[in-house]
Structure 1
Amino acid sequence: MILIGAGLVAAIAAAPLPADPPSARVAALERLAAAGHAEATYHLGMAWHTGSGVAQDKAKALDAFRRAAELGDPLAAYKLGCYYDGQGDGLVQDDEAIAYYFKSIAAEAGYALAQTDLADLDIRRGDMVGARDWLERAAAQGWPGGLLGYASVHNLADGERRGVPRDRVKTAAYFRLFTQAVDASQKQLDWLAAFERKMSRAEREQAAAIVKAYRPAPTALTAKGLSGSRAADALVAAPGR
């Protein structure tokens, strides 16, 4: 089973377990953030966003994400984009263009979740070529949503007209990779089997070759985004902090 790549799993597993209660982590992050530390400011925003170690306060989270994004933290830019894409709870007005701008910072920096989000936004805009390109980058990292989306975008009935011609080889290969990355349902497995029966032998062989050669390569930013509070603990525990 491929999950999301051995490198990412190892990176998360190697992260230190929390040694201090969340409130102590927040206090350390506040000291770093006061000194202008971008990543600490992002983690502080996440603490307020989720209510970990502090009372949940999305207004403070939004301010922290904005400051961290200005300081250059790509994960903060992503969360800021999320606030403009439905998570703002009335603190900001939803704005697709602003959401796209901030999420694109994280996507360009290699964050797989941001890449799949931009694909969704591109689909809303009718830009299937843009969506395909973002999904390809997320799929290369082993991101399940990227694998599924990349398979799906190559199976559109009107794909030719929309700039992404149907490609049964890529649909089958990446859907199979998706089923290996998640706990696939029997319905999904049955769909794949039925789809593969419609393919020629040469197409099935090409799809199998793609699956065999595939090696997910998650970025460090994707690993950090998945590690959650572990990344914050590693930051505050780093020598010299």
Structure 2
Amino acid sequence: MKFVALAFSCLLLLAMPASANDTRTFDAMVLLAKRGDAEAQYHVGMMHNNGIGTQQDRSQAFEWFQKSAAGNDPLGAYKLGCYYDGQGAGIVATDADQALKYKLVSARAGYARAQHDVALMYDRQGNSEEALKWWKTAADQGLPEALFSLSRAYSAGKGTPRDLSLSYAYFKLSKVAPARNVKEMASMLSKPELEKAEKLVAEWKPQPTALTLKAFSGFRAAEEHLKVAKNQVF
């Protein structure tokens, strides 16, 4: 029993610094954001959005995303687009035009998830060619959702001639379906088509941009930004 109590106490001690560090990171990031640092404004927005280092407050998050986007930070623009795309229910009215406007800023800067979202928006508008372009760009970075969407586009011939070989290759690369579904798709191809597809799969390598890697690193990116800012000051 004593061992259990001691172990629990140790777990509490291990947990406390992490929370304290989150709060210190938040406080330091707010100071940087108030000086007009657009990336810091994005991180403050995300910390409000997710309740990291501070209470969750999506109204505050939205305001910081607005400032970040105005300062030309592509991730701030993406999150602002997300709020206009329905994530900000109760805070800001859904606005498809504003959502596309801000997500396009991030997509053009190289963020894979923004590229995928933009593709979905164009697809809903019936602009299959533009949707395919952005799905291809996001898929090249290895985003599973984009690889799957690209597979469906080639299967249906949306925005491109129908190509079951490419559809199979991107479906397999997406890794979003059971192996039996992959085998089922393979059985629909001729031997030359399957060989072409498997060659593409074997040679394919994701090429995520620095922006995508930063976005996916989450809180670590915030901590790294603070280190860089501190070194620049000193």
Aligned to 1:64: 64
1:176 counterpart (172, 179, 182): 172
Provide the TM-score with structure 1 as the length reference: 0.85
Aligned to 2:105: 105
1:217 counterpart (207, 220, 227): 207
Alignment of 1:125-164 (within 5 A): 125-156=125-156, 159=157, 162-164=158-160
Cα RMSD, aligned residues only: 1.5
SS of alignment partner, residue 94 of structure 1: coil
Aligned to 1:233: 223
**Normalized per residue, which structure has more helix?**
2
CA 1:218–1:169: 2 relative to 1, 3 Å: same
Quick one: which amino acid aligns to residue 100 of structure 2? Answer: Y
Q: CA deviation at 1:120?
A: 1.0
Q: Distance in 1 between matches of 2:159 and 2:43?
A: 40
Structure number, greater radius of gyration = 2
Q: CA deviation at 1:185?
A: 4.6
Provide the TM-score with structure 2 as the length reference: 0.87
Do structure 1's residue 196 and structure 2's residue 186 form an aligned pair?
Answer: yes
CA 1:206–1:199: 2 relative to 1, 3 Å: same
Q: Distance in 2 between matches of 1:62 and 1:163?
A: 35
Q: Distance in 2 between matches of 1:59 and 1:90?
A: 9
Q: Distance in 2 between matches of 1:55 and 1:20?
A: 13
SS of alignment partner, residue 91 of structure 1: coil
CA 1:163–1:237: 2 relative to 1, 3 Å: closer
Superimposed CA distance per residue, residues 54-110 of structure 1 (whole angstroms, 9 cap, x where no aligned partner): 111111111100101111100000000000001112211101111000000000001
Q: CA deviation at 1:163?
A: 3.3
Please tell me whether the aligned partners of residues 84 and 96 of structure 2 are also in contact (alpha carbons under 8 angstroms). Answer: yes
Aligned to 2:161: 165
Which structure 1 residue ranges, 5 or more long, are not aligned? 1-17
Q: CA deviation at 1:165?
A: 2.0
Q: Distance in 1 between matches of 2:121 and 2:90?
A: 21
Quick one: which amino acid aligns to residue 119 of structure 2? Answer: A
Alignment of 1:69-88 (within 5 A): 69-88=69-88
Aligned to 2:8: none
Quick one: which amino acid aligns to residue 73 of structure 2? Answer: D
Quick one: which amino acid aligns to residue 86 of structure 2? Answer: G
Which structure 2 residue ranges, 5 or more long, are not aligned? 1-17
* Percent identity (aligned): 39
Quick one: which amino acid aligns to residue 200 of structure 1? Answer: S
Q: Distance in 2 between matches of 1:111 and 1:19?
A: 29
Quick one: which amino acid aligns to residue 206 of structure 1? Answer: K
Number of equivalenced pairs: 214
Do structure 1's residue 205 and structure 2's residue 201 form an aligned pair?
Answer: no
Q: Distance in 2 between matches of 1:194 and 1:144?
A: 20
Q: CA deviation at 1:211?
A: 0.9
